[in-house]
Amino acid sequence: MKVVIQRVSEASVHIHQEINAVMQQGLLLFVGIENEDSKEDVEWLCRKIINMRIFGDENAAMNFSLKDVDGDAIIVSQFTLHASTKKGNRPSFIQAAKPEIAQPLYLDFISEFEKNLGKTVGTGEFGADMKVELLNDGPVTILLDSKDRR
């Protein structure tokens, strides 16, 4: 499972020209799920992300976590994180999990993240065509892969 973490000053997700989620300071997370991913990947990533110290303290040093700053989050499913571009010019998404595997894990990710953060988060809609707006803060962009924990 891969997650792109964007530290943002603001972010929103629009679906069918309507606002589905909007937030101020916090994290915008793009989540890509592979066939081999499991509940353990979800749990590890959620704990890691929520406790990751990527928000500035009074000296602008990254010493605070999302919990420390009482930040918000938006979680968006994004299968394109598993694009393979080794051959040709059209990306292959063969590593991305099929919807019947990915959607339940995406919903588990949202639930686990909310449980660990202690509040509701915004989301995209699985499989929908979305417009995502963000104002990256820093910029801070981090890629996590649950395979790196093994």
Phi-psi region of 138 (alpha: psi -120 to 50; beta: other; left: phi over 0): left
> Is 80 noted as a catalytic residue in this protein?
yes
Query: Nearest-5° angle of CA 49, CA 54, CA 59?
Result: 155
Query: Nearest-5° angle of CA 115, CA 117, CA 118?
Result: 65
Residue 73: partners with Cβ closer than 8 Å, 6 or more residues away? 23, 26, 27, 28, 29, 66, 113, 117, 121, 122
The residue assigned the tokens 């890629």 is 143
For residue 104, whether the previous peptide bond is cis, meaning omega lies within 30 degrees of 0, is: no
Catalytic residue among 80, 120, 123, 141: 80
Q: So which residues are the catalytic ones?
A: 80
